Amino acid sequence: MKKMLLLFILMLSAIEAKDYTKNRMAIHTINTLVKKYHFKRGELTKLFRNVRVQKSALHLFLPRKRVKKTKDKRTPAQRAKTRAFYNKYGPWERYFRLKVNPSRVKQGVAFIHKYKTIFERVQKQFGVPKEYIAAIIGIETVYGGNVGRYPVFDTLATLAFEKHRRSRFFQKELIRFLHLSKTQRFNPKNVKGSYAGAIGLGQFMPSNYEAYGVDFNKDGRITLQRASDAIASIANYLKKNGWQTGEPVAVRVKYKGNRFHRYKTGYKHLYNRKHLKGISPIYRWDYKGRVRLIKLQKKKYDELWYGAKNFFVITRYNHSAYYAMAVHQLAQKIKTQITK
Q: Is 129 in contact with 153 (CB distance < 8 Å)? A: no
d(CA 108, CA 126): 20
Q: Is 51 in contact with 20 (CB distance < 8 Å)? A: yes
Per DSSP, the residues of 43-74 read: HHHHHHHSEE--HHHHHTTSPPPP-PPPP--S
d(CA 334, CA 10): 43
- Cβ-count burial of 30 within 10 angstroms (0-12 exposed, 13-18 middle, 19+ buried)? buried
Provide the annotated active-site residues: 140
Written as one letter, the residue type at 47 is L
Output the CA–CA distances (angstroms, integers) from residue 312 to 192, 235, 317, 318, 327, in the order listed: 30, 15, 9, 10, 12
Q: Is 199 in contact with 233 (CB distance < 8 Å)? A: no
Answer positive or negative: Cα dihedral of 108, 112, 118, 123. positive
The candidate with the shortest Cα–Cα distance to 221, out of 263, 264, 187, is: 187
- Cβ-count burial of 73 within 10 angstroms (0-12 exposed, 13-18 middle, 19+ buried)? exposed
